[in-house]
Amino acid sequence: MSTLLKNIIRFVLFIVVQVYILLQIPPLHHFIVPYIYFLFILWLPFNINRFSLLIISFLFGLTLDYFIGPAAKPGLHAAPCVLIAYLRPYLLSLLIPKDTAEQSYVEPSRKSMGWAPYFLYVGILSFAHHFYLVLIEWLQFGNFVYFLGKVAGTTAISLLMIFLVELLFPRSGRYRAHG
């Protein structure tokens, strides 16, 4: 399957799972809201250029906002998607040497980066995404302890779900064709 087709399928699947399954789960103590849709952005190929990454992330977030409907503020999910798309190349360059995984593998995964760098990558971008999402949702800090609790709870449940997805549905870690 081509990389483009695979990413189109992922785009649709992440939107469908987020809107029709995960957002139907009632929040636990108003802290924990399960989000994994942004994993689509984290799984995009290493070689995607930054401008395309930002545009795709913006469109992905807007698509999610559209399907959530009037319950979400316009751009509520688009803004955090663009933020993590902006941070992603810098974080990847810090976590993996330029001459290793990016040259050999198509996309970030635990196989291409190794367990520790991959989960640090996912953890940092998950926290950044949730921090910004919760901040925009409130447009103020309000009760700072409650704010941090919501960010921590949402990040924790999302990371747990991402790790489960990684274990239950391992990606092949396809090598890049050299030629």
Per-residue pLDDT of the chain (179 residues), as tens digits, is 788 999 999 999 999 999 999 888 886 666 678 899 999 999 999 999 999 999 999 999 999 999 988 766 788 999 999 999 999 999 999 998 766 545 567 889 888 888 899 999 999 999 999 999 998 887 655 678 888 888 999 999 999 999 999 888 877 665 555 44
Report yes or no on whether pTM surpasses 0.85.
yes
Q: Could you tell me if 16 and 22 are in contact, meaning their C-beta atoms sit under 8 angstroms apart?
A: no
Closest CA to 154 of 9, 20, 23: 23
| Spans of all domains in the chain | 3-168
pLDDT, residue 23, reads 85
Q: Using the 8-state DSSP alphabet, how is residue 139 labeled?
A: T
For tokens 């941090």, name the residue. Answer: 148
- Amino acid, res. 41: I
Q: How far apart are CA 33 and CA 19, in angstroms?
A: 12
Other CB atoms within 10 Å distance of the CB of residue 179: 3
pLDDT, residue 30, reads 63
Closest CA to 112 of 128, 95, 131: 95
Q: How far apart are CA 129 and CA 122, in angstroms?
A: 10
pLDDT, residue 101, reads 47
For tokens 């401008």, name the residue. Answer: 51
Token duo for residue 65:
């906002």
